[in-house]
Structures are given as C-alpha cells and as structure tokens.
Amino acid sequence: MRRTMRTWLAGAGVILLSGCASQATPPVAELFDCQALNRAVASAETGFADIKGRLETTRLTRTWQTDTQAFHDACVITSARRPDHYLCFGPLANDDPRSALLKGGEAVAQCLGEGWQSRRTSADRIAFTREGQAPVVTLETFLNDRGRRMGTLGVYQNARDAEPRPGGS
C-alpha cells in the first residue's frame, strides 16, 4: 500500500510539474492585438480619422473612443499638449521592469514586422520607427499606485510628437 501511494504521488508530481511547464508565459505576440496595432499605425497618416469614434471633450483634452483595441481593450485617440495620437494602457505580465519592457518590445516588433527599428529611449521606453515613414510606435512601462507593472502603447503621427514631455505628460 505504501509503495503504491509513493508511486501515485510521484506520478502526480510529474503531472503537476509538466502542467506548470505547459502553462509558461504565452507567446509574446499574444500581448497585443497585432491587427489592431497595424490598423492604428496605418491610420496615423490621416490623423486616425478612420478609427475615431465618439468624441469626448474636457477643458484640457479631446478624446475619441475607438473600436481598434491593440492592448487590453483600453485604447483611445487623444490630444492635449500633442496632436492626435493613439494610446493604450494595461498591465504587463511581468513586474520586473527590464523583463517587462524586453518582452513587450519583442511583441511589438513581431506585430510590426520587417522594416521597423527599435531604439531604447530611456530605461522604461522603446520607440519603433521605419526609415522614410512618419508614424512612431512607443512602448513605456511604469509602476501604478499598487506597485503593478503597467504598459502604455502609443502610436504617434511623427517622431517629434512621440518624444517624452517634461513632467511625464
């Protein structure tokens, strides 16, 4: 009886371990909806006109809802201190800043495909550009108020607008 129980427990351990291994981090392309990201990039040329939805205006900003959701269904087109740009916010799977930015950057690169170059512009930010093309894609990471690693995915009409603003806005 004891030997049978040990054999069963050992077998269960192997099954549990193999189950854990098969539930490793999902492929990096699953972090973003690549089709939506590429649609946002293509629409940058027209000021995102073809993906803008309902407009909401406040004293400080204009924000358009959009059905083009590239990251956690939390994307909008907005303008305040910059011309219209596409922004998405959401949690990243890894709380380590370097790993989160690396994995997120790999996923964005896979979505964008050939011809894009990435450049790390700060410890928490990567910019993606194409030679001779205006749209710029950025990925930034930050800690939210609960200490969770979050990401901001942005699509800008040109490189000047994609530059970080003083004071983080």
- Edge-to-edge, what's the strand order for the sheet holding 62-65? 55-57, 62-65, 75-79, 85-91, 149-156, 136-143, 125-130, 116-122
pLDDT in tens, the chain (169 residues): 444 434 433 444 433 333 333 334 445 456 899 999 999 999 999 999 999 999 999 999 999 999 999 999 999 999 988 899 999 999 887 767 778 899 999 999 999 999 999 999 998 999 999 998 889 999 999 988 988 889 999 999 999 999 887 655 4
Q: What is the DSSP letter of 54?
A: -
pLDDT for position 15: 36
Domain ranges of the chain: 29-163
Model pLDDT, residue 81: 81
- The whole-angstrom separation of Cα 139 and Cα 56 is 25
pLDDT for the residue 27: 55
Output the pLDDT for position 32: 93
pLDDT for 133 equals 86
Q: What pLDDT, on the 0 to 100 scale, is given for residue 79?
A: 93
Q: Would you mind telling me the total number of residues written for the chain in this entry?
A: 169
pLDDT of amino acid 74: 94
Instruction: Report the amino acid identity of residue 107.
Output: A
Phi, psi (5° rounding) for residue 167? Answer: 80, 5
